[in-house]
Amino acid sequence: MRSGIFGVIKGDSQNLGCTKPTKLSQKLIQTKNSALHGTWFGELSYPAEELLSDPEKFNMLEGPTQGFHYDPQSRKLALHVDFARQHPVFYYHKSQLFAFANSLEKLCELLKAHDIKIKADEQGASMLLTYSSILGNKTLVKGVRKLMPGYSLFYSDNKVELINRNNLQDLDRHISDKSSAIELLDSTFKSVTNAVATTNADLGADQINLLSGGIDSRMVFMQSVKASNSVSTLCFSAEGYLDHQISQQISKDYNIDYNFCNLNPGTYMMCTDSMEDYDGTINFLASAHHRFALNNFNNQGIIASGQLGNEILAEFYNPNNDFYDTLESITTMKGVGGGEKDVWNATPDSTLFKLYNRGFLYTNSAAYSTLDGTLYSPFTSKEFVKAALQLHPSLLKDHFIYLEWMKARYPESICYKWERYRVKPVVGMSLKLAKLKMSILTRFIYPLSNFRCDSMSPLQHWYKESKILQQFFSKTFEENIEQLDSVPSLESFVKQNYAFMNITNKASVLTLLLALKKYVNS
């Protein structure tokens, strides 16, 4: 179980607390009525209690952090989660009871202690199957909500008030000058990447950088080697694939300690522990490879990754996408669904919808699925995201500003191929043709193939080739099929279609069944 804050307020009584940090990278400042827990960079600008009582002051923190403050005079509770929700908080409110915790397991434990019957949220279950994750603030437990990324919550007089500390929708995309854009991106990126290296040095932790063949992790690595005296890299991929080749070459050229974890033949997919890491809100395969690859690393502090750089600077932006287009782009299983309109109405903008629901609540959630370290991407820092959201659309098209930034400030980064397109990341006709080719392959050819060697982790190919994997997914389904009784609206669909689903959708079903068993029917 993760460490962090928890509490129950029932009528005039309160039971508030915080468990001790379990990771080298985490810190805790606790008093009788407050607790600040997690990983933050640099010194605090205010005393912890003052910072925790004011959402604007809490918002000055950078890093995966959570906290609460209770004022016994006004009987007011303030609850906070970090900008990208990398240190999650869940809450429940009904009648005179308000409860919160850093994990769904802990919150369910608190609710059961107060005789609350745990029931499944069928909308949440439906979204888990449809999108491989639960969108918005819902969970698999009825009445339990996520405190959304960058939000604070006040509870007093039996009322809940939610505060969006950043209001990203109000940012204006006014920066159209290339030089100004590059300077803004570079200054924010360097600041937070250097802060990661400094924090690891202060902790006495190793500087570990995840490195693939993509451009995001490459950028973080190239700034990390400038900021840290010693860097180790880790690549996890099918052996011999481009991710392996490119990351190995970069590490060799920089004379860096290189570590490689071969994901072949996919047996790591039989480890479902990530279901609990994700509180049943995300397909367990989303970070099973992270867990597997990091098992042999000691002295983990903040593990640097490049998650979401490409998405934030290019791919999440599509002003022509409406509600239906946006949902279609993230759908992994057809035939189920429901409740998405409310999520869209909360963020009726394609870019921000994807940032929150595909970025922060899905891809970036791997930040808290690592056992010993804290995974962190500088691209998800508050200041970098705000900088990116101020860039004029003309700079985002065809990755223009990203590639120009690389060329201007990290020229060595464009000397290696971009794994996704098999060419160097340089603006020009070669990259345009490579993108067109990849678009055709992705749309028409790859869906008909087994991805034998054209993927970092060819999940479907591994599944088709392995009797062990097939038996595991079949046996686990059969052993837990009775959990579907808790979600009757999905029972018939799942039973009829499970055998014909691809490996990703099978994993979503197993995530649902194991989570229902853990949280609802335990």
Question: Domain residues for 13?
Answer: 5-167
Domain termination residue (choose one: 403, 427, 457) = 457
Identify whether 410 is part of a domain: yes
User: Does a structural domain hold residue 288?
Assistant: no
Count of Cβ atoms closer than 10 Å to residue 341 Cβ: 10
Q: Is residue 445 part of a domain?
A: yes
Q: For the sheet with 97-101, list strands across it.
A: 13-18, 5-10, 97-101, 90-94, 144-146
Q: b/e string for 395-413 if b means 16 or more Cβ within 10 A?
A: bbeebbbbbbbbeebbeeb
Q: Are residues 153 and 195 in the same domain?
A: no
Q: Has residue 462 been placed in a domain?
A: no
Query: Residue 343, class by beta-carbon neighbours within 10 Å (0-12 exposed, 13-18 middle, 19+ buried)?
Result: buried
61, 202: one domain: no
CA-wise closest residue to 114 among 2, 4, 15: 15
> Total domain count for the chain?
3
Note whether 210 and 152 are same-domain residues: no
Regarding whether 474 and 445 lie in a shared domain, the answer is: no
- Are 161 and 177 part of one and the same domain? no
Helix (H, G, I), strand (E, B) or coil at 99: strand
Q: Do residue 241 and residue 152 come from a single domain?
A: no
Q: What is the CATH number of the domain that holds 410?
A: 3.40.50.620
Rounded to an integer, what distance in angstroms lies between the CA atom of residue 26 and that of residue 37? 7
How far, in Å, CA of 60 to CA of 421, rounded?
A: 38
Distance CA 117, CA 108 (A): 9
Q: Do 20 and 7 touch, CB atoms closer than 8 A?
A: no
Closest to 290 in 3D by CA, of 246, 245, 236, 239: 236
* Strand boundaries in 82-182, DSSP class E: 90-94, 97-101, 144-146, 151-156, 159-164
State whether 319 and 425 are in the same domain.
yes
Is residue 275 domain-resident? no
Please tell me whether residues 159 and 197 are part of one structural domain. Answer: no
In a domain, 269, yes or no: no
Q: Confirm whether 429 is domain-assigned.
A: yes
pLDDT at 440: 79
Residues 314 and 337 in one domain: yes
> Are residues 323 and 197 part of one domain?
yes
For residues 320 and 345, state if they share a domain.
yes
The reported pLDDT for the residue numbered 451 is 45
Choosing from 457, 489, 512, the residue where a domain stops is 457
CATH number for position 60: 3.60.20.10
**Residue that finishes a domain, picked among 434, 457, 480:** 457
* Tally of CB atoms within 10 A around 334: 11
Cβ-defined contacts of 160-164 (< 8 Å, 24+): 160/91, 160/93, 160/98, 163/55
Is 195 in the same domain as 115? no
Please report whether residue 280 resides in a domain: no
| Tokens found for residue 444 | 């028409």
Q: Please report, in tens digits, the pLDDT of each residue of the chain (522 residues total).
A: 689 999 999 999 999 999 999 999 999 999 999 999 999 999 999 999 999 999 999 999 999 999 999 999 999 999 999 999 999 999 999 999 999 999 999 999 999 999 999 999 999 999 999 999 999 999 999 999 999 999 999 999 999 999 999 999 999 999 999 999 999 999 999 999 999 999 999 999 999 999 999 999 999 999 999 999 999 999 999 999 999 999 999 999 999 999 999 999 999 999 998 899 899 999 999 989 988 999 889 999 999 999 999 999 999 998 888 888 999 999 999 988 777 888 999 888 999 999 999 999 998 875 666 678 999 999 999 999 999 999 999 999 999 999 999 999 999 999 999 999 999 999 989 888 988 888 777 766 555 454 445 577 899 999 999 999 999 999 999 999 999 999 999 999 999 999 999 999 999 999 999 999 999 998
